[in-house]
Structure 1
Amino acid sequence: TAKADPDGYTLAVVSTGHVVNHVLYKDLPYDTLKDLAGVAPLASLPSVLVVSSALGIRSVKELVAAAKARPGELNYGTAGVGSAAHINSEKFNVAAGIQAVHVPLKGTPPILTETMGGRVHFAWVPSVSSIGPLKDGKLVALAVSTPARIAALPEVPTIAEAGFPGGEFNFWVGLLAPAKTPRDIVARLNAQINRALHSPEMVERLAKLGGEPMSMNAPQFDAFMRQEYQVLGKLMRDAGAKPQ
């Protein structure tokens, strides 16, 4: 997409990981900020902090106390370095002032399996994926990553309500175009996408995935991504992420 004709017909769907790729990969074939421009964010998807019900932990403060009592012994599962779960976990670890061991796994299903089995001590997982194990009593939800509680799990506090306001994380999905795409084309695409995202049908479809529409114009989305690039890039470097 970065090298495509800037005519508005070649677009890329990316997620939060896009803004940390420069930290993780030394030979990116494009410049994250110079070669691609934001068209529109599409949705934000909340995550839930879960532990095995057998662990006996029922709140974020109890989890943090356990981690501080055994520094470097507790672990957390993610879908790999730079994944949403990894970024989310590192934000939480910094906010809580804890050290835990990163266990990269191959996606959400094994994260859930390993957490339910107690081999992974805690994990941030998509809210929609957590509902079944939570209802079955195999997992306990301690907090959601969003600034506000979510409709699917109204009884679960936000991470700020749980006492760790620096731990919020917004997993977003957005649409990009080649940087030289004319601004009028980008603005037209942005307007059409925002209209579609707020149609009742799309709101309902996103809700079934645990998501909500995100609304920004193109310059706002660019500014948002630049901020994420700085903040999350530093977070991953501080976490010891090395370019591959």
Structure 2
Amino acid sequence: MTMDRRSLIKKISLTTLSPLFYSGNSVAQEKISRIIVGFPPGGGTDVAARLLAEKMRTSYPSGLIVENRPGAAARLAVDYVKNAPPDGSTMLFTTDFAMTIYPHSFRKLSYDPIKDFAPVAACAKTSLAFSVGPSVPESVKTIADFIAWSKANPTQAAYASTSAGATPHFTGLMFSKSAGISLLHVPYKGGAPALQDLMGGQIASSFNPVGEVIPQLKSGKIRVLATTGASRSKFLATTPTFVESGFKDVVAEVWLGVVMPSNTPTSVIQKTASSINEALKTPELVEAYSKFGMETMVSSPESFSALIRNDLAMWGPIIKASGFTAED
């Protein structure tokens, strides 16, 4: 029987609270290794980390645990790993925005994503879905239709995001600039309340990770007009991308990955990357991540480093032009 998303979260939370013990070739052999997560237990990032840790356990003779260090929108965890011994025993399971958006949105940041960390592996990715709700006429079926509607209804032209300063926020700015329209940004405290207001007709549109939108499609109250990936989402295969809709610059993906403190030996990084990639290839992990609308990735430290640098460079001018500054 296929396990539903809620049951999966409960199972993973229970089974990965204790160390994961060795039964194969080792990466770190002398002490318990830790995957640090900057969010509370039970959230999407935490569950994704625990799913990965469960599949990596055979590489760790002394055990592998997931340790939650929430606070300051994940910055406490990032700073903690930055200052950890560079011996491979401490790694950060990070969201994209902590590495690629925060450096541009905070006036002061205690870390440098390039200088202070060694990329290990990208683990999973998803695109964002741009959806409209019942306040937008059913005749609006494409991005071109939405642009025309927004110009005709400027007081209603607005979009929700999961929070101010996160990837959906700036993706909306990217779209509005490319389309030549003015869209009011309305930040919410999470994807659920944003989608609730979208379905209730309180706001016209919303940018959300694909995994948040899929469960709501059955209601028939929202329509996904486009996704933000370089290619179509396998979870919304009939929905075009913004690129296909004529907006080649509106490309953004949310990702999760693992980094270690800078100066961690290359040999340790390579071994850890190999362990992560082997875990991500397993059918069980591919299926588990898909329940959250995430696609597993297989990467090298070099390709993950390139991804971080490219996204960091991409978001810089967009955030600067927005005038947005994150609150400490």
- Confirm whether residue 53 of structure 1 aligns to residue 111 of structure 2: no
Q: Return 158-167 or 181-190, whichever deviates more.
A: 158-167
Match of 2:193 among 93, 110, 120: 110
The answer to whether the aligner puts 1:10 opposite 2:90 as a matched pair is: yes
Question: What per-residue deviation string (whole Å, max 9, x for no partner) do you get for residues 112-152 of structure 1?
Answer: 01111222211111222212322211101111122222332
SS of equivalent to 1:46: strand
Give the superposition deviation at 1:199. Answer: 1.1
Read off the aligned partner of 2:83 and give its amino acid letter. K
- 2:301 maps to which of 190, 196, 218: 218
1:27 equivalent among 69, 88, 108:
108
**Residue in structure 1 matched with residue 226 of structure 2 by the alignment:** 143
Segments of 5+ residues of structure 2 without an aligned counterpart are 1-80
Q: Please, which of 233, 236, 241 is the counterpart of residue 316 of structure 2? A: 233
Q: CA RMSD, aligned part only?
A: 1.7
Largest Rg, 1 or 2: 2
The answer for the alignment partner of 2:77 in structure 1 is none
Structure 1 distance, partners of 2:264, 2:165, is 28
Aligned runs of 1:1-244 on 2, under 5 Å?
1-18=81-98, 19-56=100-137, 57-71=140-154, 74-244=157-327
Q: Is the 8 A contact 2:101 2:312 kept in 1?
A: yes
Q: Which has the higher contact order (CA 8 A, sep 6+)?
A: 1
Check conservation: 1:53, 1:137, Cα contact below 8 A.
no
Give the Å deviation of 1:73: 5.2
Aligned length: 244
Give % identity: 30
8 Å contact kept, 1:8–1:185: yes
CA distance in 2: counterparts of 1:230 and 1:81, whole angstroms: 20
Equivalent residue letter for 1:37: A
* 2-structure distance, mates of 1:163, 1:66: 17
Residue by residue over 1:177-200, the C-alpha shift from the partner in whole angstroms, topping out at 9 and shown as x without a partner, is 101111111111111111111111
Whole-Å separation in 2 of the counterparts to 1:156 and 1:190: 33
Unaligned runs of 5+ in 1: none
